[in-house]
Amino acid sequence: MKIYKQLLRGACLGVITFALLVTSACWGGASASPSHKLISQLDNNAIAAREAQLTLKELVDLKLFAQESAQALGGKVEGFRAANRQLIDFADSPEFKSVGPNGERVITFTVAGKIKAEQLAEILKTTAQAVLASKDLFPNISDAARAKWTALIQAVDQTAKLAIQLINQLKTKPNTPTAFVIAPADIELLNHAKEAFVE
Amino acid sequence: MNNTITIAKQQLTAAEGLTGIDQLFAIIALGQFLLGRGFIVLSDVQAHGALDDQGVLDAAKAHDAEAAEAWKALSNG
C-alpha cells in the first residue's frame, strides 16, 4: 500500500509540474510570427490562470487545502488574469491590428492608448511578481520553471521600454498629432521588440 | 528525481490529515483530476499551431472566461 501511495503521489506531482512547464515554456512554436507568439503567450497566461484556480478549488474540495488560504492565493491569480485580459482586449483592438494600404502598420497609439499600454505592462508585471512571490501557491514548481517566469517578467518590462523608445522616435502623422504611422521597416524593429516576450 | 520526491512530500503533506481509505481516495481523485487537466492543457496549447491570430485571440478570451468562472466558484466556496 505504501508503494502505491508513493507512486500516486509522484504521478500527481509529475502532472502538475508538467502542466506548469507546458504553460510557461510554450510560446507558440519556433516558426510562428512574433505577433502569433505574443497572443499565444496571452492565451497561455489565461490557461495557466484557469488551471491554477481549478486546482485550488479541487484541493479545497478534497480537503487538502484550507478554504481561506486557497481564496487568498486565488485572489492573486485573479489579479493576474484581469491584467492579462486587458492585454488580450488591447491586442484585439482595431488600434493594434490596423494595416495601411501600402502595407504599413498604422497603430493609432493615442496618448491615452500609449499610457494604457504602459500601465497594462506594469500591472501585468506587478501581478505576476505577486503570484511568483507566493511560494505556497506552487510549492512544486521547479527552479527552471520559476526562472522562466522571472525571465518573462523581465522581458515584459524590457519590451515595454523598447516599444516606448520606438514610439517616441517615430514621427507623428500630419494633422493627427496623437497617431503614429509605422513604416514597414520600422515594423521589423517593433517585431524585434516583441520578440523579447518569447525569448 | 530528488526534486520530484521533495515536491511530492511538500504538496501532499496536507493529505496526512486524512486517514486510511479516505486518504487514498483523496489522492486518487486528485490524480485523476490532474491527469485530465494535463491533457486539456496540452490540447489547448497545441491548438495555437492550427489557429490564425484571430483564432488564438478568441481562444484566449474563452480561456479567460473559464478562469474567471473558476475563480468565482473558488471565491464563493
DSSP notation for A36-69: HHHHHHHHHHHHHHHHHHHHHHHHHHTTSS-HHH
Cβ contact, residue pair B27, A5, below 8 Å: yes
With DSSP H G I counted as helix, E B as strand and the rest as coil, what are the percentages for chain A, rounded to 5? 70, 5, 20
Closest alpha carbon to A148 in A161, A138, A163, A160:
A138
Helix (H, G, I), strand (E, B) or coil at A23: helix
Extract the C-alpha cell encoding A193. 521588440
From first to last of the 199 residues of chain A, give the pLDDT tens digit: 344 444 444 444 444 444 444 444 443 444 555 556 667 777 888 888 888 888 888 878 877 777 887 787 788 778 778 877 877 877 777 655 555 666 655 544 445 555 555 666 666 666 666 656 655 555 555 666 666 666 656 655 555 555 555 555 444 444 444 444 555 555 555 555 445 444 3
Q: Name chain B contacts of A36, Cβ cutoff 8 Å.
A: 48, 53, 56
pTM tops 0.90, yes or no: no
From first to last of the 77 residues of chain B, give the pLDDT tens digit: 344 444 445 555 656 666 667 666 766 776 677 777 777 877 888 787 778 778 888 999 999 999 999 999 999 87
Q: Name chain A contacts of B77, Cβ cutoff 8 Å.
A: 67, 71
Mutation for B interface: A50, A137, A140, most B CBs within 10 A: A50
Helix (H, G, I), strand (E, B) or coil at A110: coil
- Residue B50 touches chain A, beta carbons under 8 Å: no
- Could you give the CA distance from residue B48 to residue B52 in angstroms, rounded to a whole number? 8
Mutation for B interface: A31, A47, A63, most B CBs within 10 A: A47
| Other C-beta atoms lying within 10 Å of the C-beta of residue A117 | 20
Mutation for B interface: A31, A54, A97, most B CBs within 10 A: A54
Option in A1, A8, A40 nearest B56 (CB):
A40
- Residue A20 touches chain B, beta carbons under 8 Å: no
- Could you give the CA distance from residue A93 to residue A95 in angstroms, rounded to a whole number? 5
Cβ contact, residue pair B34, A77, below 8 Å: no
- Could you give the CA distance from residue A175 to residue A168 in angstroms, rounded to a whole number? 17
Q: What is the DSSP string of A103-128?
A: S-EEE---HHHHHHHHHHHHHHHHHH
Helix (H, G, I), strand (E, B) or coil at A134: coil
- Residue A21 touches chain B, beta carbons under 8 Å: no
Q: Which residue has the cell 486528485?
A: B30
Q: Name chain A contacts of B48, Cβ cutoff 8 Å.
A: 26, 28-29, 32, 36, 40, 43
Query: What is the Cα B30 distance to its own chain's centre?
Result: 9
Query: Which residues are paired to A106 by β-bridges?
Result: A181
DSSP 8-class letter at B47: G
Give A98's contacts (C-beta < 8 A, 6+ positions apart).
A105, A106, A107, A108
Option in A16, A40, A81 nearest B67 (CB):
A81
